[in-house]
Amino acid sequence: MHRPPLLTAVLRGLALVLGLGLLVTPASAAGRDGSAHRPGDGSALLGVLQDAVRQGSPGALAQSRTGRRVRDLAAGVADIATGERPDARMRFRIGSVTKTFVATAVLQLVAEGRLRLDEPVADVLPGFVDRNGNDGAAITIRMLLSDTSGLYEYTNDPRVEQITQQDPAHCFTPRELVGFALDHPPLFAPGTSWAYSNTNYSLLAMVLEQVTGQSYGDLITRGILRPLNLSATSFPGCSPLLPAPRLHGYTKPDPAGTQIQEATYYNPSFAAGNGDMISTVGDLNRFDCALLGGRLLPARLLRAMLTPTPGSFPNTDVFRYGLGVVIARTPCGVTVYGNAGSIQGYETWMSGTRNGRHTMSFVLNQDWLDPTDIITQAITAEFCPR
């Protein structure tokens, strides 16, 4: 079956987290070849990366941090054409991990008293969410953050795919993307259920811009990236470029086929506000460490962010959703907080313990493997003692 080149990868951000509910028993941290690995020395996590390459990912890259110890691990290649090895300095597209940055910026405005979690969207953007049964007066900022708004998933609107195919340089805005969603009735009444939706975060990007008068990218750059010196992290806007050094991304036109295509350079604005950022494994670890360590939000708002949303990921007891974060409980009982991102050419995972002292991020430079088992193996290998 033919797979559309761009939006299917965005949709897999949704499929990824919903697919986590299919997991019952995590695979062993040992390699599939039967070799034993020792959690804590990096060999277990390296075995997971090597497994991913054996399953078909061109390359896999991870970094773990515990205190001052930093361990970089890699398998496979960063560039099929040259055979270059993955390197922790390489940039890649992080997909829905973007949402954690957006959520943090929103909560920073709450901390400053410029927003309220229970403030209706209609108070910030009057008259915008007001058609086809969508009611901005009934949808709060908290509902957008927790994916309980009921707003339609804009990537399911065929017009978005049509535009990306007909005009790859088209520069989508959050307003345009949310507008596609508002042409459809809501999935459920606000606050009555849960459904992962990219629309919520494009709308939150609009909220950030309305309250501050800055673009969401500029706001996050000034309020988070620069203070933390995350110099390799950026918002590309509508530019297809990926700065060097780069981890090349790859996709398959037919997931069941063998043909692999380069998917490094493309305009990511179809994910504006919800999945368009570029980063590195090191920058993601530093961000998650600062966030979980209380350097970006006051304690009460960090607790709210990391509190599981009732009914989220209903098919699993392992994963829950907070306010812009995925909460994962490992088989050994350690809980980690971060996010997962799927976008054309890349699968990304960011995670850390509650105090931020132990973090681990990884990326696969492909988008056709189911990453759910790999995520579970990786957090088991990294965060669970023998």
pTM for this prediction: 0.92
Checking if the pLDDT of 11 tops 60, the result is no
pLDDT at residue 7, rounded to an integer: 53
pLDDT at 14: 43
pLDDT tens per residue, range 228-272: 999 999 999 999 999 999 999 999 988 888 899 999 999 999 999
**Among 185, 176, 115, 174, CA closest to 150:** 185
Residue 142, sorted as left (phi over 0), alpha (psi -120 to 50) or beta, turns out to be alpha
Instruction: State how far the Cα of 363 lies from the Cα of 63, in Å rounded to an integer.
Output: 9
Residue 317's pLDDT band (cuts 50, 70, 90): confident
Q: Which CATH architecture has domain 7-383?
A: 3-Layer(aba) Sandwich (3.40)
Kindly report the backbone phi and psi dihedral angles of residue 309, in degrees, each rounded to the nearest multiple of 5, phi listed first: -85, 125
SS3 label, residue 329: strand
In the chain, where the domains are located:
7-383
Question: Which residues share a beta bridge with 198?
Answer: none
The secondary structure of 64-112 as a DSSP string is EEETTEEEEEEEE-S-TTT-PPP-TT-BEE-GGGHHHHHHHHHHHHHHT
Sheet strands (E) in the chain: 59-66, 69-76, 92-93, 250-251, 261-262, 278-279, 319-321, 326-329, 335-343, 346-352, 358-364
